[in-house]
């Protein structure tokens, strides 16, 4: 091949994108990685929040993948642009609030813009026909190529032999025979290929990388929209959906109760934006109050906070209530018994 083709690989941090990029590197293609940050990525900050996770190595798998491959990685913040993808998905949602097909189209579209701006020839993804119920089906994979604008500059090396030849194949930039024909949800071919390439410590196969595929997270997001009467969100909202117990005792306010020290510490950064409650007579959680609250509501919030403190069995627990203007009051309350916290309050 006289032309050294240049490709950008969508790197999620998972095994498939790692392998797809490696297959192209093996064919002499110049590959650089691109990783999109939506705000809903499981990678990254959530590992840093909970203290119980501190024993685990804090590794960003997209960076790790790029390092294994010896390629550059461009990480792109698409938090603002992604809102429209999530709020108005043309192709709808998956099992939860995951707009997987629209998401894939959007990311490939962004990659297409990137290759045009940077003089690259084509785009690589780790997609495999039949692996995902929305975005990786035989009938939806052409939709991704078409609606993203990438058309036949979108190459999926792990299943290329199952798909029509793309521009890089027709031009002879890559050899179709040295790509693969993987299909379906069976992960064994990928695991065998990883072994062949000497990749061992890769992220778990088929691991979800997006909070929107998580049922519990999606329920909290829908609850947030319902309570506010409008479907919109800010970065702080989607961060706080990842931490704490979420309890909505009244339609007009919700409590976010830290579950351990790491979460309490993380939530401390939000005490100037939200009313916060903290037990002072006993060790206990930090609670943030999202919404509006009158004195009765604050009393209830204090009793619930006390319920999750070490004084839950005591007659009185002192709770400090801090308003966003810095004003602090103290309430002596009886912890709300567990039996008086209905299951329906838990979001």
Q: What would the two tokens of residue 47 be? A: 């590992």
Encoded one letter per residue, x for contact with another protein by CB under 8 A and - for no contact, window 147-186 reads ----------------------------------------
Window of 42-50, 211-219, 222-230, 316-324 that interacts with another protein by CB under 8 A: 42-50
The answer to the question of residue 73 lying near another protein (CB under 8 A) is yes
When asked if residue 239 is in the footprint of another protein (CB under 8 A), the reply is: yes
The reply to whether 256 sits near another protein by the rule CB under 8 A is no
C-beta separation of 38 from 80 below 8 A: no
Residue 62, interface with another protein (CB under 8 A)? yes
CB of 327 to another protein, least distance (A): 23
Tokens of 203: 């992220």
Interface with another protein, residue 76, by CB under 8 A: yes
198: left (phi over 0), alpha (psi -120 to 50) or beta: left
Q: How far is the CB of 26 from another protein (least distance, A)?
A: 19
Instruction: For residue 103, give the 3-state DSSP assignment.
Output: helix
Decide: is 119 part of the binding site for another protein (CB under 8 A). Answer: no
- Distance, in Å, from the CA atom of 305 to the CA atom of 17, rounded to the nearest integer, reads 44
CA distance 302 to 292: 14
Stretch that binds another protein, among 38-46, 141-149, 186-194, 197-205 (CB under 8 A): 38-46
Beta carbon of residue 124, minimum distance to another protein (angstroms, whole number): 17
Examine residue 305 and tell whether it contacts another protein (CB under 8 A): no
Which CB, 46 or 162, lies closer to another protein?
A: 46
Point out which span in 36-44, 129-137, 140-148, 177-185 binds another protein (CB under 8 A): 36-44
CA distance 248 to 287: 12
**Considering CB under 8 A, how many residues would be counted as binding another protein?**
30
Cα gap 4→9, rounded to integer Å: 16
User: CA-to-CA distance for 13 and 43, rounded, in angstroms?
Assistant: 8
Of 33 and 168, nearer to another protein (C-beta) is 33
Does 43 sit near another protein (CB under 8 A)?
yes
d(CA 267, CA 276): 9
For the four alpha carbons of 256, 257, 262 and 268, in that order, the dihedral sign comes to positive
Report yes or no: 82 and 39 within 8 Å, Cβ to Cβ: yes
Q: Cα-flanking dihedrals φ and ψ of residue 231, to 5°?
A: -95, 90
> Should residue 74 be labelled a site residue for another protein when binding is judged by CB under 8 A?
yes
Distance, CA of 117 to CA of 113 (rounded, Å): 6
For residue 47, state whether it binds another protein (rule: CB under 8 A).
yes
By the 8 A CB rule, do 275 and 289 touch?
yes
Helices (H), 154-214: 167-170, 188-197
Contact window for another protein (CB under 8 A) among 21-29, 74-82, 214-222, 319-327: 74-82
Minimum Å gap between C-beta 143 and another protein is 29
Site for another protein in 316-345 (CB under 8 A): none
Q: Which stretch binds another protein (CB under 8 A): 57-65, 151-159, 173-181, 302-310?
A: 57-65
Task: State the residues that interact with another protein by CB under 8 A.
Answer: 35, 37, 41, 43-49, 54, 57-60, 62-64, 66-67, 70-77, 239, 269
């Amino acid at each position: 091949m006289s032309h050294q083709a240049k490709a950008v690989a969508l790197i999620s941090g998972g095994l498939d994108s790692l392998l797809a990029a490696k297959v192209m590197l093996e064919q002499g293609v110049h590959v650089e990685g691109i990783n999109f940050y939506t705000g809903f990525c499981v990678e990254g900050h959530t590992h840093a929040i909970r203290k119980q996770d501190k024993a685990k190595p804090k590794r960003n798998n997209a960076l790790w993948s790029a390092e294994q491959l010896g390629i550059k990685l461009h990480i792109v913040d698409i938090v603002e642009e992604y809102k429209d993808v999530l709020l108005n998905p043309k192709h709808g949602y998956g099992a939860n609030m995951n707009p997987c097909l629209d998401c894939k189209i959007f990311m490939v579209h962004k990659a297409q813009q990137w290759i045009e701006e940077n003089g690259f020839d084509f785009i690589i993804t780790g997609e495999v026909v039949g692996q995902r119920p929305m975005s990786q089906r035989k009938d939806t994979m052409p939709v991704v190529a078409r609606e993203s604008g990438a058309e036949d500059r979108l190459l999926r090396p792990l299943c290329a032999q199952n798909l029509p030849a793309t521009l890089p194949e027709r031009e002879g930039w890559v050899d179709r025979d040295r790509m693969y024909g993987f299909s379906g949800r069976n992960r064994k071919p990928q695991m065998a290929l990883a072994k062949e390439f000497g990749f061992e410590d890769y992220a778990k196969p088929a691991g979800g990388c997006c909070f929107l595929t998580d049922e519990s997270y999606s329920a909290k997001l829908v609850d947030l929209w319902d309570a506010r009467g409008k479907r919109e969100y800010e970065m702080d909202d989607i961060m706080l959906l990842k931490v704490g117990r979420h309890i909505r005792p009244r339609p007009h306010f919700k409590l976010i109760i830290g579950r351990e020290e790491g979460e309490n510490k993380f939530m401390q950064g939000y005490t100037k934006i939200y009313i916060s409650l903290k037990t002072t007579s006993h060790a206990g959680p930090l609670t943030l109050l999202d919404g509006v609250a009158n004195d009765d509501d604050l009393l209830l919030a204090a009793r619930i906070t006390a319920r999750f403190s070490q004084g839950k069995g005591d007659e009185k627990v002192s709770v400090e209530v801090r308003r966003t203007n810095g004003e602090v009051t103290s309430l002596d309350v009886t912890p709300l018994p567990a039996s008086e916290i209905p299951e329906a309050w838990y979001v």
